Copies of this chain bind each other. A is one copy, B any other.
Amino acid sequence: MRIVLDAAGGDNAPEEPVAGAVRAARDLGCEIVLAGPEARVRAALARQRTAGLALSVVDAPEVIEMDEHPAQAVRRKTRSSHVVGLRMVRDGQADAFVSAGHSGATMAAATLVLGRIRGIERPALAIQFPARDKMFLLLDIGATTDCKPEYLLQFAQMGSLYAERGLGIANPRVALLANGEEASKGDRLVQEAHRLIEQTGLNFVGNAEPKDALLGCVCDVLVCDGFVGNMFIKQAQAVVKLALTLVQDEARRGWAPRLLAGLLPSALWAGLGGGAVRLGGALGLLSAVPLLGSLLVPPLLRVRRKADYRFYGGGPLLGVKGVAIIAHGRSDAAAIATAIAQAHAAVERGAVLGIADMLAPQAAGAPSA
């Protein structure tokens, strides 16, 4: 198997992508092609131990900047890593493309270069989102902001297939993101999509509110339009960051230390039997404020890490004729390696291209909406 990696994409390119590629080539035993400005990529590669690994470089001197309009940039910069890499996939020279670069450009390039699977109306970008017990697949998170009910139906079908084949979840439970569990909830789009999905053979569990998905873990696949999905992720990140900030503010203000001052003595006495420790007085603890306050932060940071999708490799763009995995811009080498492993699994198990077979009878018979 041969996977093309966008070596020019992401905040830490080319160093982290190259390091991630080396790691993935070693772990997966597959061939990795690094697409990017050749000299820079080769220089980064020279700093790695690559003996015995199948790593090659393909020159892609143009770079799509973050402030460029995705579709326009893709049309103009045909020697960018996005276009060069995806053309290799289109032409059968590679099996998958992975990028931590401009995600809008990757989506635009994948749609333009690879084209949509016959019968698929619009592509959807999926990611794994953390819930209490395990993650669920959320789509669309931004590929298609304006949706028709038929698009959501196809997102449900593609998401279910990817969850089953790519993530190994048997008979995945599919839900629609809505403002209430009843079928009457949601806006018109969700209500109509509900009726359409109900008629399929999918394991459809109905509507799910955010709390049902995050805490109740009622679904393996959560479907919404690209605008709502993007808000879902961004609101989660903003709220976690706000909580972290407020807790830090609280700790600085001395609320937490005051509580610790009140409770710690009894905790210490209870814990240590009262014999080994003698306390100079509860109030004395207040002088330890900065350190005690800081104790509240690490667990929250760990929660933030759990809630931050950039630690989970990447997400597949579903509905295009090829495997394209989009990783977070801040991906480090480990995240890149995870994204490459995702691409590897998706190719091996037909989790993305299998969509074409799944839709084949439907695409032949059903009229397009």
Contact string against B for A residues 171-188, beta-carbon threshold 8 Å, 1 for contact and 0 otherwise:
000000101000010111
Q: Residue A51 at the B interface, CB < 8 A?
A: no
**A146, A243, A250, A263 pick with most chain B CB within 10 angstroms:** A243
Q: A43: CB under 8 A from chain B?
A: no
CB atoms of A243 and B300 under 8 A apart: yes
**A327 CB → nearest B CB, Å:** 19
Given contacts A210-B235, A211-B237, A228-B231, contact A284 B276 (CB under 8 A): yes
**Protomer copies:** 2
B267 & A307 in contact (Cβ 8 Å cutoff): no
Most B Cβ at <10 Å: residue of A232, A239, A247, A255: A239
* 20 A–B contacts, CB within 8 A, in A order: A132-B246, A179-B231, A210-B231, A210-B238, A211-B237, A211-B238, A215-B238, A239-B307, A243-B243, A243-B303, A246-B306, A256-B298, A259-B298, A259-B299, A267-B291, A271-B285, A271-B287, A272-B284, A276-B281, A296-B299
- A360 located at the interface, meaning its Cβ lies under 8 Å from any Cβ of chain B in the complex: no
Q: With the chains together, A210 CA to B247 CA distance in Å? A: 19
Question: Does any Cβ of B come within 8 Å of A10's Cβ?
Answer: no
User: A142–B178 Cα gap in the complex (Å)?
Assistant: 12
> Cβ of B145 and Cβ of A179 under 8 Å apart?
yes
User: What B residues does A284 contact at CB under 8 A?
Assistant: 271-272, 276
Query: CA A285 – CA B272 in complex, angstroms?
Result: 7
Interface range for A = 35 or more
Provide the bound-state CA to CA distance between A110 and B289, in Å: 51
- Are A302 and B234 closer than 8 Å at their CB atoms? no
**For residue A237, which residues in chain B have a CB less than 8 angstroms away from its CB?**
210-211
Task: Check B214–A239 contact: CB distance below 8 A.
Answer: yes
Complex Cα–Cα for A209 and B228 (A): 12
Residue ranges of A at the interface with B (Cβ–Cβ < 8 Å): 69, 131-132, 142, 145-146, 177, 179, 184, 186-188, 190, 209-211, 213-215, 225-228, 230-232, 234-243, 245-247, 249-251, 255-256, 259-260, 263, 266-268, 270-272, 275-281, 284-289, 291-292, 295-296, 298-300, 302-303, 306-307
In the assembled complex, the Cα of A240 lies from the Cα of B271 at a distance in Å of: 31
The DSSP consensus for interface residues of chain A is helix
| B239 with A235: CB separation less than 8 A | yes
Residue from A215, A227, A241, A280 with most neighbouring chain B CB atoms (10 Å): A227
Q: How far is the CA of A186 from the CA of B288 in the complex (A)?
A: 47
**Closest 6 pairs (CB-CB, A-B):** A276-B280, A271-B288, A210-B238, A267-B291, A211-B238, A145-B187
Task: Tell me, in angstroms, the Cα distance from A270 to B285 when the chains sit together.
Answer: 10
